[in-house]
Amino acid sequence: MRIKLLGTAAGGAFPQWNCACRNCRSLRKGSFAGKPRSQLQVAISQNDKSWYLLNASPDIRSQLERDPVFYPRRQVRSTPIAGIVLTSADLDQVLGLLTLREFEQFRIYATPTLQRILREDNSMFAALNRVPGQVTWVDIAPGERFSLVSKKGEAELCCTPVPLKEHAPSYISHQRRLELKDEELLLGLTIETAAGRRLGYFPAICEISQEIMKMLAGIDVILFDGTFWSNNELQGVRATAPMAREIGHLPVSGAEGSLERLAGLKARKIYVHVNNTNPLLNEAGREYRQVRAAGWEVAEDGWEFEL
């Protein structure tokens, strides 16, 4: 499996357009010991012919345009993208679908609950089904394996959705929230090659249960939620901001943070979805050195590797 990290930041990217926090301000001045990042986007492929996106970033157009592997092939209009797997209905994860509305045929793998949010509650997503066969929506269920299927109908990589503690998008009303299935709102993914090598994808997670710990023990590479360094990080920018855990993200540091909880994992461990306020972005900082010393990597746009 070939894995491309087209974008690695949390929503808003880095620097964020309306932010003058220490990180964003220093980066704009050219005095920051770190790199800009676009919003999180991962692409995977078994054979370089068919590619699958994990969610669809608002930055998807520029991300695809930077890599020739995604350019149209042969026909005037074409794409090697065969499918998209959705792990939540958060705007940062789905807005890119609207960029991909140009009458290309591909599959969108999503739970029925995520499909209801997008297709029933948001009329804009009807742009994906303006003509018959434009997009095929494929139901997936937590804990049930499914195959990613090429445009030729060939089963390729195997995925298993992992149900996480429920976290509904903030734009959903309270009444609508009561109508939805908790276990279908937020997912992690494990993706397995024919040789049994496994990638774990958990860009948003607010707690690590014993069941998830056991599952992660069999992962070879994990892309994990690195959104916030501390639980109260956002309050350093805005006093009334919520805690990290309140908006569905386990902080990296502190008691029961991911750095402590996942210390024993043998997998290659990579933090993704890093927020613009996170001190991990500063490669000269104490926090960055601490996670590197603990065996973690902090993802950067443009990384790619094979599994």
pLDDT at position 167, please?
A: 82
What is the mean predicted confidence (pLDDT) over 43-51?
A: 96
Burial 241-253 (b: 16+ CB within 10 A, else e): eebbeebbbbbbb
pLDDT at position 51, please?
A: 98
Grouping H, G, I as helix, E, B as strand and the rest as coil, residue 93 is helix
Domains of the chain with CATH codes: 2-306 (3.60.15.10)
pLDDT surpasses 90 at 224: yes
pLDDT at position 18, please?
A: 96
Strand locations in the chain (E): 2-7, 41-45, 51-54, 81-85, 106-110, 135-139, 146-149, 155-163, 187-192, 198-202, 221-225, 268-272, 296-298, 304-306
pLDDT at position 157, please?
A: 98
Which residue is it, tokens 């993704």? 272
| Residue count (the chain) | 307
pLDDT at position 133, please?
A: 84
Listed in sequence order, the residues at least 6 apart from 50 whose beta carbon sits closer than 8 Å to its beta carbon are 80, 82, 83, 148, 150, 151, 154, 156
CA–CA gap between residue 204 and residue 272 (Å, rounded): 9
pLDDT at position 219, please?
A: 98
Rounded percentage of the chain residues whose pLDDT exceeds 90: 90
The tens digit of pLDDT for each residue in 103-154 reads 789 999 999 999 999 999 999 999 999 988 889 999 999 999 999 999 999 9
3-state helix, strand, coil in the chain (%, to 5): 25, 25, 50
The tens digit of pLDDT for each residue in 90-99 reads 999 999 999 9
What is the mean predicted confidence (pLDDT) over 190-206?
A: 98
Task: Provide the pLDDT confidence category of residue 47 given band limits of 50, 70 and 90.
Answer: very high
pLDDT at position 236, please?
A: 87
CA–CA gap between residue 91 and residue 122 (Å, rounded): 11
pLDDT surpasses 90 at 74: no
CB contact at 8 A, 143 and 163: yes
What is the mean predicted confidence (pLDDT) over 268-293?
A: 99
pLDDT at position 237, please?
A: 87
Helix (H) or strand (E) holding 22: helix 22-29
The answer to which of 25-34, 78-87, 172-181 has the lowest mean pLDDT is 172-181
pLDDT surpasses 90 at 166: no
CB contact at 8 A, 159 and 145: yes
Burial 119-132 (b: 16+ CB within 10 A, else e): beeeeebeebeeee
Rounded percentage of the chain residues whose pLDDT exceeds 70: 100
Task: Provide the pLDDT confidence category of residue 84 given band limits of 50, 70 and 90.
Answer: very high
pLDDT at position 204, please?
A: 98
CB contact at 8 A, 219 and 190: yes
